[in-house]
Amino acid sequence: MNTFTNLVLAAAEEAEHSIEYGDGGIFAEWAWLLVIVPFVAFVAIVFFGKRLPRQGGEIAVGAMAFVFIYAAILFVINTVEGVVFEHSVEVARIGSFAIEWGWVVDGLSSMMYLVIGLLAFLIFTYALGYMEGDVRPTWFFAAFTLFAGSMLLLVSAPNLIQLIVGWEGVGLASYLLIGHWWEDKENSSAGMKAFYVNKVADIGLVIGAFVLAIPVGSFRISDVLDAVVGNSGDIEAVAFWGAALLFIGAMGKSAQFPLHVWLPDAMAGPTPVSALMHAATMVTAGVYLLGRMYPLYAEMAAEARVPVLIIGTITLIIAGLLAVVQDDIKKVLAYSTVSQLGYMVAAMGAGAYTAGLFHLWTHAFFKGLLFLGAGSVIHSVHSNNMSDMGGLRKPMPVTFGTFVAGTLALAGIFPLAGFFSKDEILAAFNYEGYTAVLVIGVVGAFVTAFYMARTVFLTFYGTYKGHGRPHESPRVMTMPMVVLAGLAVVGGWVNIPGLYTGFTDWVGTRAQTFAEHHAESFDWPVVAIGLTAAFLGIVAGYFLYYRDEETQQARDSFRIPLLWPLLEHKYYLDDLYMNGIVTPIKGPIARFVDWTNSYVLDGIVNAAGFVTRALARFVYQDLDQRGIDLALNGVAYSTDDLAGRTRLLQTGKVQQYAGATVIGAVLLVIGFVVFG
Amino acid sequence: MPLLRRRKPRKKRCRHDSKELEARGLELRIPEGGELVLLNQFLILGALLFSLGVYGLLVRRNAVMVLLSIELMLNAVNVNLVAFESFLRNAGAGGQIFAIFVITVAAAEVGIGLAIILLIFRNRTSANVDELDLMKW
């Protein structure tokens, strides 16, 4: 066996599970600002956003700039001295369980803060351009800020309750954002689908949290993990079930087979939402949960890693194959995300904690970049379908250049970010002896390179097939793409085996440590196989979709018999869920509700209606019509009648009036004379 | 107003009882160097003129004649005012001033009235008041 142990592990053995880290000073103490500022910004946008020139977008971008800068400071502090800080405030108490709110600053969470802050800042800036002229920009930015804030709440959680609150907040915000253009039924249905599928998985998360918390007597993650590290017998009994249930929760948020169905539909939302959702918030939550609870999976619940590995492996290959048949550019990227999440989860399952998180880190950059690029293309050609694109290389040079950088990074071409992270995952498969998984991972790498090559050739090469004249996006949109392209290139250089392994130290900086294998140099055969697979994928894409441009479309419509219908229908999973689960449950419930409705509720309602009607009839006929109305009408009729007679006095003849006046005067005189 | 109307027998009212007048701070005055003209004579003239005016006001069809009748009534009142003023001491110049006021107002009234009648005549080619009954029920 390899005797390489990392610095952390060596130190851990010396100091018996307690390593001296810094406490991060005032910046860690004030890290609650990271969570509060987005929520304050959310409220501010809701109430004051409409009055601002950018409809509230400036508040959102400002809040995210703050989060980014603060996260960068925390990250630097962590890099320099290693920070482990945790603080909790008691909010409420139920029996012996304290409900707490707090924040964690350690290597893992500061890595996530930085990813969220950086990606959110860039994508919000991009959204300023992308959402210009939208129907509800204020609400969009409010929900977007809520999205990022909920994710920060989740990541900063020192206890499982707060983690669930943030988790649900992310789900709510994603529902709002996916259905942002709810005028189309399809979009609001996609939002609901995301919400429901996540709810199914959340049941696992909530039960898992309780299963783990009850034997420990505390919801604090550190207490649970301390019990795990200390080999407490109470928790050992439930460790497998707790870990498996938490993973069900992670399967929902991180879109693992068979709960991945919501993610492609979530493309109904605006593109910046997809970008943020796929890069930094939402789908990374599941992987983060696995990472945060990793000490549990490392040894005590090691059997629970088997389903994690299997599900991750299935996900990475089936989602990769689905991406090949998509025409919608965003759906290609969505299935690509599912596939990459499969890599991360499979890495976690294989015991490669660092490799999984490292892929999360690099994936955030290039997937965020690819979505922004796709958004830029969609913004320009007003269609999501690649059959409406083509030849965009010339009119959109910046988008093209950055998109290609993202594609090569995702395909895993040396020396871009994806190469290092994917290689580390494949090497971990090899080291742990999961040969079958390694083979599937390599096939997945080939498929990844193939569908990305297909996307690039269909979108940017050949002839333009859409309408109108495509144009480059404004600078506010291209600048974030350029920054992300830079990161997609260099993002992987923070963890080069044998050269510099800063990333390993960052995510290893945490209170509870565990043993993990870290390769000291590249696993050269795996590097060779992985790179070959990626190159073959690109070459295959080149031959199929580029070499002879005339037949490009013919080839795109080429369909492999048997396999194509299966992929086209997404393995019939949606049909299975609809006909197998939703309809059978919906039917009896609907019938029962209908029966209750027509016999019980309607009876009550009808009785109430009958009594009310009788009462109303009495009031109407006897009280109102025969009483009040008659009196009022009588007054009105008599006034009308009298007026009709009296008005005849008004003849209009002045001399009659004058005569009346004279007669009156004479009568007055006579009166004075006689009675005076 | 009720200068001469007091709780007295009716026959006494026109006798200009000097004592009664003196009791009210008034004094009967006889114009100098002239034949004594009785107040009654002026009052009768005024009454006749006024009646004539009333008659004209009520029966004439032509609006101009109606206006003329009103003038007649006003002037009848003027005669009364001036007569009372000249026969009563201590009345100040009230009667004359009032007469002048009446003349002024009458002049204004005639100015406006004639203008109205003129416009009516232009619009309807008639100044017959019987036809001007638009303002009825």
Whole-number pLDDT of residue A18: 46
Whether A5 shows a pLDDT value over 50: the answer reads no
Asked if residue A298 lies in contact with residue A17, where contact means CB atoms within 8 angstroms, the answer is no
Q: Is residue A456 part of a domain?
A: yes
Distance between CA atoms of A61 and A337, rounded to whole angstroms? 25
Q: Residue A650: its chain B contacts at CB < 8 A?
A: 135-137
Whole-number pLDDT of residue B13: 46
Closest-CA residue of chain A to B58: A655
Could you tell me which of A198, A310, A204 has the C-alpha nearest to residue A247?
A204
Lowest mean pLDDT across A182-196, A422-436, A467-481, A553-567: A553-567
Q: Residue B105 is part of a domain; what is its CATH number? A: 1.10.287.3510
Q: Is residue B84 part of a domain?
A: yes
Whole-number pLDDT of residue B100: 93
Give the residue-averaged pLDDT of A116-124.
Answer: 89
Whether A563 shows a pLDDT value over 70: the answer reads no
Nearest-Cα distance to chain A for B14, in Å, is 15
Which residue among A648, A650, A655 places its CB closest to the CB of B58? A655
Cβ-proximal residues to A48 (8 Å cutoff; 6+ apart), any chain: A56, A59
- To test the contact with chain B by mutation, choose from A645, A647, A654, A668 the residue with the greatest count of B C-beta atoms within 10 A, namely A654
* Residue finishing a domain among A286, A313, A347: A286
A46: tokens are 């809701």
Instruction: Judge: A658–B57 Cβ closer than 8 Å, yes or no.
Output: yes
Highest mean pLDDT among A647-656, B62-71, B126-135: B62-71
Distance between CA atoms of B20 and A323, rounded to whole angstroms? 129
The DSSP letter of residue B92 is: T
- Is the domain of A104 the same as that of A173? yes
Q: What share of chain A in percent tops pLDDT 90? A: 6
Whole-number pLDDT of residue A470: 78
Work out how many CB contacts closer than 8 A connect A with B. Answer: 36
Distance between CA atoms of A442 and A201, rounded to whole angstroms? 29
Could you tell me which of A137, A149, A373, A190 has the C-alpha nearest to residue A281?
A149
Whole-number pLDDT of residue B56: 92
Could you tell me which of A275, A315, A326 has the C-alpha nearest to residue A450?
A326
Q: Residue A651: its chain B contacts at CB < 8 A?
A: 133, 136-137
Give the residue-averaged pLDDT of A373-395.
Answer: 81
- Is the domain of A277 the same as that of A408? no
* Residue finishing a domain among A515, A539, A557: A557
Instruction: Tell me the helix, strand and coil percentages in chain B, rounded to 5.
Output: 65, 5, 30
Which residue among B5, B58, B134 places its CB closest to the CB of A652? B134
Q: Which residues on chain B place their C-beta less than 8 Å from a C-beta of chain A? A: 5, 54, 57-59, 66, 129-130, 132-137
pLDDT in tens, A181-237: 888 888 888 888 888 888 888 888 999 888 888 888 888 888 888 888 887 777 777
Highest mean pLDDT among A4-18, A41-55, A541-555, B57-71: B57-71
pTM of the predicted structure, to 2 decimals: 0.68
Whole-number pLDDT of residue A24: 67
Whole-number pLDDT of residue A523: 75
Asked if residue A406 lies in contact with residue A366, where contact means CB atoms within 8 angstroms, the answer is yes
Give the residue-averaged pLDDT of A619-644.
Answer: 89
Q: Is residue B119 part of a domain?
A: yes
Which residue among A650, A655, A662 places its CB closest to the CB of B137? A650
Distance between CA atoms of A212 and A234, rounded to whole angstroms? 10
A664 interface with B at CB cutoff 8 Å: no
Whether A309 shows a pLDDT value over 80: the answer reads yes
3 state SS for A59-116: HHHHHHHHHHHHHHHHHHHHHHHCECEEEEEEEEEECCEEEEEEEEECHHHHHHHHHH
A676 interface with B at CB cutoff 8 Å: yes
Instruction: Judge: B135–A650 Cβ closer than 8 Å, yes or no.
Output: yes
A565 interface with B at CB cutoff 8 Å: no
Whether A282 shows a pLDDT value over 50: the answer reads yes
Whether A514 shows a pLDDT value over 80: the answer reads no
Give the residue-averaged pLDDT of A282-286.
Answer: 87
Instruction: Judge: B135–A648 Cβ closer than 8 Å, yes or no.
Output: no
Instruction: Judge: A655–B136 Cβ closer than 8 Å, yes or no.
Output: no
- Is the domain of A441 the same as that of A510? yes
Q: Residue A646: its chain B contacts at CB < 8 A?
A: none
Question: For residue B56, what are the domain limits?
Answer: 37-131
- Is the domain of A277 the same as that of A374? no
- Is the domain of A281 the same as that of A331? no
Instruction: Judge: A655–B137 Cβ closer than 8 Å, yes or no.
Output: no
Instruction: Judge: A654–B137 Cβ closer than 8 Å, yes or no.
Output: no
| A96 vs A619, higher pLDDT | A619
pLDDT band at A3 (very low <50, low <70, confident <90, very high): very low
Q: Residue B133: its chain A contacts at CB < 8 A?
A: 651-653
Which residue among A650, A655, A672 places its CB closest to the CB of B129? A655
Question: For residue A367, what are the domain limits?
Answer: 301-557
Q: Is residue B25 part of a domain?
A: no
Q: Residue A676: its chain B contacts at CB < 8 A?
A: 5
Instruction: Tell me the helix, strand and coil percentages in chain A, rounded to 5.
Output: 75, 5, 20
Does the bond joining A258 to the residue before it have cis omega, within 30 degrees of 0? yes
Q: Is residue A5 part of a domain?
A: no
Which residues are A328's β-sheet partners?
A385
Q: Residue B132: its chain A contacts at CB < 8 A?
A: 652-654
Highest mean pLDDT among A3-17, A222-236, A427-441, A540-554: A427-441
Q: What angle do CA A640, A641, A643 make, to 5 degrees?
A: 65
Whole-number pLDDT of residue B28: 60
Instruction: Judge: B134–A654 Cβ closer than 8 Å, yes or no.
Output: no
Angle subtended by helix axes A185-216 and A221-229, to nearest 10: 50
Give backbone dihedrals phi and psi of A495, rounded to 5 degrees, phi first: -145, 70
A496: tokens are 């080069």
Which residue among B54, B130, B132 places its CB closest to the CB of A662? B54
Lowest mean pLDDT across A425-439, A505-519, A590-604, B95-109: A505-519
Instruction: Judge: B58–A650 Cβ closer than 8 Å, yes or no.
Output: no
The DSSP letter of residue A301 is: T
Instruction: Judge: B132–A652 Cβ closer than 8 Å, yes or no.
Output: yes
Distance between CA atoms of A393 and B62, rounded to whole angstroms? 99
Distance between CA atoms of A52 and A50, rounded to whole angstroms? 6
Distance between CA atoms of A490 and A487, rounded to whole angstroms? 5
Whole-number pLDDT of residue B107: 94
Could you tell me which of A144, A40, A19, A164 has the C-alpha nearest to residue A100?
A164
Whole-number pLDDT of residue A4: 41
Query: Considering its fold, how many domains does chain A have in total?
Result: 2
Whole-number pLDDT of residue A548: 55
- Is the domain of A399 the same as that of A518? yes
H helical segments located in A156-232? 160-178, 185-216, 221-229
Q: Residue B59: its chain A contacts at CB < 8 A?
A: 655
Query: Considering its fold, how many domains does chain B have in total?
Result: 1
Q: Is residue B79 part of a domain?
A: yes
Whether A556 shows a pLDDT value over 70: the answer reads no
Whether A16 shows a pLDDT value over 50: the answer reads no
Q: Is residue B105 part of a domain?
A: yes
- Is the domain of A420 the same as that of A489? yes
Give the residue-averaged pLDDT of A307-334.
Answer: 85
Closest-CA residue of chain A to B132: A653
pLDDT in tens, B31-85: 555 455 677 888 899 999 999 999 999 999 899 999 999 999 999 999 999 888 8
CB contacts under 8 A, A 620-659 vs B, are 647-648, 650-655, 658-659
Closest-CA residue of chain A to B55: A659
Which residue among A647, A652, A672 places its CB closest to the CB of B133? A652
Chain mean pLDDT for chain A = 82
Nearest-Cα distance to chain B for A656, in Å, is 8
Nearest-Cα distance to chain A for B40, in Å, is 18
pLDDT in tens, A585-596: 777 777 888 888
Whole-number pLDDT of residue B14: 45
Cβ-proximal residues to A303 (8 Å cutoff; 6+ apart), any chain: A240
Whole-number pLDDT of residue B119: 92
Distance between CA atoms of A434 and A442, rounded to whole angstroms? 12
Q: Residue A648: its chain B contacts at CB < 8 A?
A: 137
Whole-number pLDDT of residue A569: 66
Q: Is residue B31 part of a domain?
A: no
pLDDT in tens, A385-444: 777 777 777 888 888 888 888 898 888 888 888 888 888 888 888 888 888 888 888 888
Distance between CA atoms of B127 and B121, rounded to whole angstroms? 5
Asked if residue A226 lies in contact with residue A176, where contact means CB atoms within 8 angstroms, the answer is no
Instruction: Judge: B58–A676 Cβ closer than 8 Å, yes or no.
Output: no
Q: Is residue B91 part of a domain?
A: yes
- Is the domain of A282 the same as that of A359? no
- Is the domain of A503 the same as that of A356? yes
Instruction: Judge: B57–A647 Cβ closer than 8 Å, yes or no.
Output: no
Closest-CA residue of chain B to A654: B129
3 state DSSP class of A496: strand
Instruction: Judge: B57–A662 Cβ closer than 8 Å, yes or no.
Output: yes
Whether A516 shows a pLDDT value over 80: the answer reads no
pLDDT in tens, A335-361: 888 899 898 999 888 888 888 888 888
Q: Residue A655: its chain B contacts at CB < 8 A?
A: 57-59, 66, 129-130
Q: Is residue A619 part of a domain?
A: no
- Is the domain of A335 the same as that of A276? no
- Is the domain of A321 the same as that of A199? no
Q: Is residue B27 part of a domain?
A: no
* Residue finishing a domain among A557, A572, A588: A557
